[in-house]
A and B are shown apart, each in its own frame.
Chain A
Amino acid sequence: MSIFVDDKTRVVYQGLTGSAGRFYGLRNRAYGTQVVAGTNPARGGTEVEGIPVFASVKEAVEKAGATASCIFVPAPFVESAVLEAAEAGITFIAVITEGVPAQDEARFFNRLQEDFPNVRLLGPNCPGIITPGKCNIGITAGEIATPGGPVGIVSRSGTLTYQALYELTQKGIGVTTCVGIGGDPVPGTTFIDCLEAFEADPETRAIMLIGEIGGSEEEKAAAFIGSKLSKPVVSYIAGVTAPPGKKMGHAGAIISGSQGTAQAKMLALRAAGARVAINPTEAGEMMTDLVRELDR
């Protein structure tokens, strides 16, 4: 089992003809993902190494049976790309593009909530999602992940997501699904959305949560872990040594006043019963111990 995507997911790449879209679209296909189409309004009827390119997502849905979309179009065009996908009947949209204006994100996220409540949006500015061995949508290097479970991963940071997958693979531990929710101000999918889904997934028996400074999403996740989650959690929060008031790359990663510090997040997670590591390697080791305990 897995969450959100599996081997039946049929993906259209909006921006397949661009250099990043092409590279990762082909790489995702090589991994085994059902990459069924690409779109480009000016290049309908062409193809990219056997993947048909349509002028619209609607055509990709009708002619190629696409159910999910992976968006690589440049930031100024993301809002219309997301809405086009939803209107065409796509139910899972992962936006990899970074640099999307916050006002656009706020608008299209709420538009989806109101008019397309069954659509799940992931990102923007996220690495995507991988259900190892079955489906890889986005920019994660698939070979660093081990299929099978029992661990589900949710992370706010792209590169730390890879780091976590890699640490677990080094220990021979499999992953059900790994979701990179991204670090932007208005993430389509939150920690809690993923925790809920992992809780409902019988193959996921433990969860790794990777957060970072800024905002209060980790604290909210901690409250959920303490009250509603039956599965054990290992977490790591990046930015323990980040100075206050400095934006650390992600729009979300800024400590303002006493809010959003790594220490506060770690305390909240620990109080909720999660094991809290001080670096990604330790998180991998803690998860190894945890999985051994579960198997005992």
Chain B
Amino acid sequence: MDLFEYQGKQYFARFGIPVSPGGVADTVDEAVTQADRVGYPVVVKAQVQVGGRGKAGGIKLANNADEVRTHAANILGMDIKGHMVKRLWIERASDIAHEYYASFTLDRGARKHLGMVSAKGGIDIEQVAAEDPQAIARLHIDPVSGLSEAQARQLVSDARLDAQAQGGAVDILKKLYRCFVEGDADLVEINPLVLTPDGRVHALDAKVSLDNNADFRHPEWQEYRATEVLDERERLARSKGLQYIGLSGSVGIIANGAGLAMSTLDVVNQAGGSPANFLDVGGGADATVMANALEVINTDPNVRSILINIFGGITRGEEVANGIVQALQRVHIKSPIVIRIDGTNADQGRQILKAHESDRLMSRPTMLEAARKAVELANSTEASR
């Protein structure tokens, strides 16, 4: 789950990382109230989860209430690379002597933590990495022993930060690493990390991506869930515990396992169709889960046929079949369903379905045949519209 800048800064603050004072505003009036509270000059910042906000005009300096009013009115409702601005973060403007970059993430290839620090902050770090890779100091950290004081110093000195920033930067790195590990983040990034003319170092931006798997030990994440950027179908799926991603095609897809679901998308494409979604019901999908999945797909107006592709491992065939039968009794499924079941208890599953087969529910023995049938149904109903 990606946090908005203001949430990231609030998260940083929990770990003692210095951030500018500020407040959230959803309206022009609220923006002025927040600006009056934190003190001028302020920066009015669009809260969207996409890079390049500044260039798009989503970050503006305001010296008084009138300027806040003007900028807030312009930025609220602005479309930044497809993201509509609904919320602003108003913070005290900082004097900036230098801009740096700092981050921690997991290096999957090395299976260790990776710390990166650069004296070239404030710009897209991927651009720095491409044009001047030497400008980024990198250090692998053993997740067992964690980041030591010496390693934090090493990173800061390798990155050649200005002498007066080094003490403050080391302190922030140690706190940022704690935020990464104890805060269960996949990524924590400060860009820019700034040095003020009076020698203080603090985080001017915050990018935090949280690991959803650690949700169980972070009750405080509940408030972030409420603001997560999801489309309606994704929100409904999430509330039912399903992994769903909306796409734009006409074949609704339900599969178990991310790999099989992706593969099902591929096969539908190869059969000349286009998938309406990615939906992984996960391991151990039972009747309720299957019924929920069908209900989510049912809300998508583009869907013309539904392809259910199940290969039972931890998921059992008879549970899947029961779920489909129950869902058909519970809600009117608008599109015909083609199903393919194999693996654990597949025979029992097929037996259950056999009694309910019709032109609305049919089964096919292989993934390819099932995909072809689903695509044929989707295309023919589209043509007949």
Contact surface of A with B, Cβ cutoff 8 Å: 20, 24, 75-76, 96, 98-103, 106-107, 109-111, 114, 127, 139-141, 144, 155-163, 166, 183, 185-186, 210, 212-213, 215-217, 220, 236, 238-243, 246-253, 257, 278-281
Contact = CB atoms under 8 A, between A and B. Distances in A.
A239 B278 CA distance: 11
Given A106-B106, A106-B113, A141-B344, A240 B259 contact: no
B262 A213 contact: yes
Contact of B258 (A102, A139, A157): A157
Interface in B246-275: 247, 255-263, 265-267, 269-270, 275
Interface residues of B, number: 51
B23 to A, nearest CB: 30
B367 interface: yes
A141 B108 contact: no
Nearest to B309: A159
A35 to B, nearest CB: 17
30 contacts: A24-B314, A100-B213, A101-B213, A103-B214, A110-B112, A110-B144, A114-B144, A141-B344, A158-B257, A158-B260, A158-B313, A159-B255, A159-B260, A166-B342, A186-B108, A213-B262, A215-B109, A216-B108, A220-B109, A238-B263, A240-B269, A241-B275, A242-B265, A243-B245, A248-B245, A250-B259, A253-B259, A253-B262, A278-B266, A279-B270
B311 A98 contact: no
Contacts of A238: 259-260, 262-263, 266
Contacts of A160: 257, 259-260, 263
B143 A127 contact: no
Contact of B313 (A139, A212, A247, A252): A139
A253 B313 contact: no
Contact of B109 (A20, A216, A249, A253): A216
B142 interface: yes
Contact of B270 (A99, A103, A109, A278): A278
A157 B143 contact: no
B111 A186 contact: yes
A66 B267 CA distance: 43
Contacts of A140: 313
Contacts of B284: 20
Contacts of A236: 263
B39 interface: no
A158 B280 CA distance: 12
A210 B280 CA distance: 18
B217 interface: yes
Given A24-B314, A248-B245, A279-B368, A239 B266 contact: yes
B313 A107 contact: no
Contacts of B245: 243, 246-248
A114 B145 CA distance: 11
Nearest to A102: B211
B41 interface: no
Contacts of B278: 242, 246, 248-249
Contacts of A139: 283, 313-314
B213 A251 contact: yes
B367 A163 contact: yes
Given A20-B314, A76-B216, 7 more contacts: A103-B143, A158-B259, A159-B259, A159-B311, A166-B343, A240-B266, A253-B262
A76 B258 CA distance: 22
Interface in B153-174: none
Interface in B214-268: 214, 216-217, 243, 245, 247, 255-263, 265-267
B143 A107 contact: yes
A210 B247 contact: no
B188 to A, nearest CB: 12
Contact of A156 (B247, B259, B275, B342): B259
A64 B233 CA distance: 50
B179 to A, nearest CB: 12
Q: Name the residue among B181, B263, B343 with the largest chain A CB count within 10 angstroms.
A: B263
Contacts of B126: 257
A213 B258 CA distance: 11
